[in-house]
Amino acid sequence: MYSSRGDDAAGGAGSAGDVERVVSLAPSATATVAAMGGEDLLVGVTTHCPLDRTAVGGWLNPDYDRLADLDPDLVCTADALQADVRDELTARGYDVCHVEPDRLDAVVDSFATLGRAVGRPEAGERLSDEARRRIDAVRDRVPERSDSEQGDDDARPVVYCEEWGEPPMAAGNWVPEVVEAAGGSYPFCDPGKRSREVTREQVEAAAPAHVIVHHCGHGDRADPDILADRGWDLDASVHVLDDDLLNQPSPRLLDGVETLAALFHGE
């Protein structure tokens, strides 16, 4: 994680206590700041953020002139894909809080990092602590890992999570751990690794019991018939989820863990 907002935020110079005006160039940062009660700090967001604030462009193509008009004390970015945006903002003299979580624990830790950066460290810590409690509560309710020697392979259903459809991409980063926390088995990508393209043969050989379609940028409007339209032969329940529930490293991810657990094992 990178920040130019003081040691409390993750290194650099400055004081996070001076933050009164924040522009968020990442929907995950917008959702996280809002979840810690910091909507009053947000003066600008992206066109992808469902918050009634001045829009300063997309998360990969911000309007720097419009951003300058807002005169922010801090700009928030996220993900390696925004590294160039972060560097451009830093070169222009802005204080930037940038996080790149790739594992579930790192997502939870980023809530506290962002809280420190915007001057609300207690709220950020509370959000992180609550996230850990929710994950642990789900893990306590779902079956233990399957043990083939005990013939209990069905305790944890195999799950295929599709982040993109053309070409088909199995979700990576924190999603394998989200599936595991929800009581599923995910053989398609290792935790912390980027999403990867998969073939029909690979998915069919894994014989998933559940397919989660959460195509990036589609919300909950992805086509549930996309697998059948490809001719994939799967004996699986197909679920379309709002992509924010799995793709966004914000508190929405906790809703995703709980939603998957209910799908796999019932309420």
Strand partners, 97: 3, 76
Give 54's strand partners: 44
74-92 pLDDT, tens digit per residue, is 999 999 999 999 999 999 9
Region 194-219 average pLDDT: 95
> Between helices 104-117 and 121-141, what is the axis angle to 10°?
160
* Predicted pLDDT at 10: 41
pTM, two decimals, is 0.89
For 14-62, what is each residue's pLDDT tens digit?
Answer: 345 589 999 999 999 999 999 999 999 999 999 999 999 999 999 999 9
**In the chain, what are the domains?**
2-134 (3.40.50.1980), 145-265 (3.40.50.1980)
Q: pLDDT value at position 150?
A: 40
217/46 Cα distance (integer angstroms)? 13
Q: In sequence order, what are the residues at sequence separation of 6 or more whose Cβ sits closer than 8 angstroms to the Cβ of residue 117?
A: 3, 5, 6, 8, 9, 10, 16, 19, 74, 76, 97
pLDDT of residue 17: 58
**Four-residue CA torsion sign, 93, 41, 55, 78:** positive
